[in-house]
Chains A and B, each alone.
Chain A
Amino acid sequence: MAIRKTPEINGGSMADISFLILVFFLMVSTMDKEEGLSRRLPPLPSEDQKVEDQKVNRRNIIQVKINSNDRLYAGSEMMDVSQLKDKIKEFLTNPYDDPTLPEKEMREIAGLGQYPVSKGVISLQNDRGTSYSKYIEVQNELVKAINELRDQFAMQQYGKKFIKLDETKQDIVRKAIPQSISEAEPKDVKKK
């Protein structure tokens, strides 16, 4: 009886098959990274607390408004987006303790000690007609101002940029320079 060998399977087409699968996956998949600006929305106020909500001192709040023509107002003056960052930085640091700029509160931060934390709040208002790209541009500028302040602070305290710090130190910096942007209740900001 002759011993029958099983014939070898030809593997030559394996490459073709795997190429086919590869192309299939390339087509059905996306590679876009999830990137964007993270925000926390304020919780909806319950009915009974609506009366005494705005008890924030006037000097502690800066109104950033964008009207329906994409014009930007910060405080009460009209300005260009490029000026906004410096305005915000000045507002949040208040280097000369100007009485019209926000007050600072000594706060105990674990791992750092006493640090004057600014009580400033940025209130961002937009009109229904504002374009989204402008809105993001302004948001971006606000974040940039805060990021730069944090970098500055991190440089001073630890000699490193904020991103390069470890988690606990980042937390300290976050507490010292909070990102206090409030997206105000929607209002129709009429164009002036």
Chain B
Amino acid sequence: MARFIKNDKKETPAISTASLPDIVFMMLMFFMVSVSMRSTDRMVQVRVPQATEVAKLERKELCSYIYIGTPTQAYQAQYGTESRIQLNDSFRNTDEIRDFIAAERDNLSEVDRPFMTVSIKADQDTRMGIITDVKQQLRRCSALKIMYGARKAGKAK
């Protein structure tokens, strides 16, 4: 019957890409939601030590960061290779932590201030001397909730 006569040329139909933008937008949304902006340029090299008993920080927005480590190569000519403290976007010394904490505290709302956490991200080869100084400074401005940054190690068992 004529109806069942095959078409002579049969091409595979082109795959419609009309939904591609939708898919990509979906991925985009996912990344925007799941990710936090890199707010500061890392000026020190930090490889945080490993630990097995790490806890997650509940509220990231209440957290301020202190980076401690050797300056990255771009800054080594200027600042040497001794461990330095980075607050926001510049190298600071321990005395300036106080102002930093005060400023960070001002940024938070009244209710959240007691829950402010200071995350110390120090390189694993740092000596404790500088960290002790930082801790003493933090105690002096009564920012007592701290967190030693660490990455989760696989359970060695």
Taking Cβ atoms with an 8 Å cutoff, the residues of A that contact B are: 11-12, 14-15, 18-19, 21-22, 25-26, 28-31, 33-44, 126-133, 135-137, 139-140, 143-144, 147, 183, 186
Contact = CB atoms under 8 A, between A and B. Distances in A.
B15 interface: no
B128 A26 contact: no
Given A131-B126, A132-B126, A140-B51, A40 B28 contact: no
User: Size range of the interface on B?
Assistant: 35 or more
A131 B138 contact: no
Nearest to A136: B49
B126 A40 contact: no
Nearest to A44: B139
A44 B140 contact: yes
User: Which of A21, A36, A43 has most B Cβ within 10 Å?
Assistant: A36
B55 A37 contact: yes
Interface string B99-135: 0000000000000000001010011111111011001
Given A35-B149, A136-B150, A143-B53, A129 B31 contact: no
B59 to A, nearest CB: 9
Given A29-B36, A30-B36, A132-B126, A37 B132 contact: no
A61 B5 CA distance: 95
A127 B130 CA distance: 11
Interface stretch (B18-26, B70-78, B86-94): B18-26
A79 to B, nearest CB: 18
B14 interface: no
A35 B122 CA distance: 13
Contacts of B135: 41, 183, 186
Nearest to B59: A34
Given A22-B31, A144-B52, 17 more contacts: A15-B24, A18-B21, A25-B28, A28-B38, A34-B57, A35-B149, A36-B148, A37-B53, A126-B128, A126-B132, A127-B128, A131-B124, A131-B127, A136-B124, A147-B53, A183-B135, A186-B135
A18 B37 CA distance: 19
Nearest to A18: B24
Q: Which 8 A-B pairs have the closest CB atoms?
A: A128-B129, A133-B124, A34-B57, A29-B35, A14-B21, A140-B51, A130-B128, A133-B49
A40 B144 contact: yes
Given A41-B144, A43-B144, A31 B128 contact: no
B10 interface: no
21 contacts: A14-B21, A25-B31, A29-B36, A34-B57, A35-B57, A35-B151, A36-B54, A36-B57, A36-B150, A37-B147, A38-B146, A38-B147, A39-B145, A42-B139, A128-B129, A130-B127, A132-B124, A132-B125, A132-B127, A133-B50, A135-B131
User: Which of B119, B128, B131 has most A Cβ within 10 Å?
Assistant: B128
B24 A31 contact: no
Contacts of B55: 35-38
A30 B31 CA distance: 10
